[in-house]
Amino acid sequence: MMILPAFIVTTLFAYGPMFGLYMAFINYSPGGGSFFSQFFHSEFVGFSWFHYFFNNGDFYIIMRNTLATSGLSLLIGFPAPILLALIINEVRQGFFKKFVQTASYLPYFISWVIAANIIVTFLSSQGILNKLLVLFHLTDQPVQFLQNGHYFWIIIAISNMWKDMGFNSIMYLAAIAAINPEVYEAARVDGANKIKQMVHVTLPALRPTIVILMILAIGGILNAGFDQQYLLQNTTVLHYSEVIDTYAYRYGLQNSMFSYGAAVGMFKSVVALVLVISVNAISKKVNEVSLF
């Protein structure tokens, strides 16, 4: 009975809408009559929309931007919460520890609309970053960060890290809290300092958590994000900022190519499923730690 509400919600909102994946294989165009009548009587075109996506000139640019943004976000953002959790764990002053934890969590609860405005203000020609660069004579004039496509990927990666780092550290802090204090005492008796305790006690205890979260992170490598990309992009950096999510939105909704947008979204989901299963199998074989 306790599971029943969650089962109903999951069925209605997670599995129920999956019939809409059929849209990727038809030429759907809304018109008169009911949605279901239009949906199930549309022309079946098979894999035509997928073929169109793979063979037009946009595919390589979209995949490049998506993989570059996600790869940098993973490279920068994945170790950050682990490092933050290790640092917070070593803070012994109670008030300061709680303050740091709260301050690091706050960005996660800020919507991307507000966060994007903060980032734009920070990186503008009159923003604090440019003022510091000019003040320390690192540049002669303000740098147009958001008008230069070469900076866009790293801006998104650092923004994702800043926003999610504190919240993601909660899982690692919980795993650290479960470590038996006697193990640390034994390490101290053997002459291990704080650094050696981190390396030989804390990190090995965190390995199962790290592996599981890594599997999920790699599975979402094509999920470069929509909100941050859409809110921070502009026409001058569109060649670097357009990723699968914004591309599907632009063609699927703005250009009313609903079936094409559904095909692009389905491609991303299938790749994510294959990656999760593959990385999970490799991890299970190599580390004997897996998600399922």
What stretches of 11-148 show up as alpha helix (H) in DSSP? 35-40, 48-55, 58-77, 79-90, 94-105, 112-123, 128-135
Crossing angle (nearest 10°) for helices 112-123 and 149-177: 130
Q: What is the mean pLDDT of residues 272-282?
A: 86
Backbone torsions φ then ψ of 68, nearest 5 degrees: -65, -45
Is 33 a residue whose pLDDT tops 90?
no
- Residues in Cβ contact with 19 at an 8 Å cutoff, skipping those fewer than 6 apart: none
pTM of the model: 0.86
Q: Would you tell me which CATH number, out of the four given (1.20.200.10, 1.10.3720.10, 1.10.2020.10, 3.10.105.10), belongs to the domain 47-286?
A: 1.10.3720.10
- Residues in Cβ contact with 118 at an 8 Å cutoff, skipping those fewer than 6 apart: 110
Cα–Cα distance, 88 to 90 (Å, whole number) = 5
Q: What is the mean pLDDT of residues 194-210?
A: 90
- Residues in Cβ contact with 184 at an 8 Å cutoff, skipping those fewer than 6 apart: 197, 201
Are the CB atoms for 108 and 101 separated by under 8 Å? no
Cα–Cα distance, 13 to 143 (Å, whole number) = 45
Q: Locate the domains of the chain by residue range.
A: 47-286
Q: Which two tokens stand for residue 164?
A: 């999610």
Helix (H, G, I), strand (E, B) or coil at 93: coil
The amino acid at residue 147 is Q
pLDDT tens digits, 231-270: 999 889 989 999 999 999 999 989 889 999 999 999 998 9
pLDDT (0 to 100) of residue 220 = 83
Q: Which two tokens stand for residue 278?
A: 């593959």
Q: Work out the number of other CB atoms within 10 angstroms of the CB of residue 127.
A: 18
Q: What is the mean pLDDT of residues 62-81?
A: 92
pLDDT tens digits, 135-183: 998 888 889 999 998 899 999 999 999 999 999 999 999 999 999 989 9
Task: Determine if residue 285 is left, alpha or beta; phi over 0 gives left, psi from -120 to 50 gives alpha, anything else beta.
Answer: alpha
Are the CB atoms for 141 and 130 separated by under 8 Å? no
